[in-house]
Amino acid sequence: MTLIIIGIVLLVAIIGIVLYNGLVRSRNQVDNAWSQVDVQLKRRLDLIPNLVETVKGYAAHEQKTFDAVIRARNVALSVASTPEAQASADNLVSGALRQLFALSEAYPDLKANQNFLALQEELSATEGRVAYARQFYNDSVLDYHNKLDTVPTLFVAKFGSFARREFFEAEDAALVPPDVKF
């Protein structure tokens, strides 16, 4: 009888350890996925000064647009590294970039500039990376939340330090990448 009780206790302990480790792996996956989103957003922000300088050479009198882009970039660099704050800043940057790319329609020489074209291409590729990183992050958060909300991991999560995470939710307008035309 004692062996049966010891066996049951060991089995429950092993199951608890396995479930706890699964939650830790999921939480770490969410953290890793967020760092990938953060890296891609910073990469995009690093491209903006070069893009603005290139456009300035052709459209120097469009200072209001340049200021809006730089302001949005500075806000994005200064906000907290949380999904909610970054999503809000990302919406500002996306709107400002749309205004900047709209200028290229008014300046045919700018549309033909090799630096501008290369920066547009790089920004377009980065936008794709940002979208992929966002999707991966949100999928990771969903998987983590599913583990937090389902039995038996629900019980293990209550005893550990497993807080829910925010999804990265962009506004509908931000989901449309800037119009990049060649």
Sequence ranges of the domains in the chain: 21-175
Q: For residue 171, what pLDDT is reported? A: 67
Cβ density class 15-45: b for 16+ within 10 Å, e for less: eeeebbeebeebbebbeebbebbeebbebbb
21-175 maps to which CATH number? 1.20.1440.20
CA-based radius of gyration for the chain: 23
Q: For residue 172, what pLDDT is reported? A: 56
Strands (E), the chain: none
What the block records as the tokens of 173 is 């307008």
Q: For residue 62, what pLDDT is reported? A: 82
Q: For residue 27, what pLDDT is reported? A: 97
Alpha carbons within 13 A on the beta-carbon side of 142? 8
Low-confidence ranges of the chain (pLDDT < 70): 171-182
Q: Which residue has the tokens 């969903």?
A: 142
What the block records as the tokens of 32 is 């890793």
Q: For residue 12, what pLDDT is reported? A: 95
Alpha-carbon span 162 to 164, nearest angstrom:
7
Q: For residue 165, what pLDDT is reported? A: 95
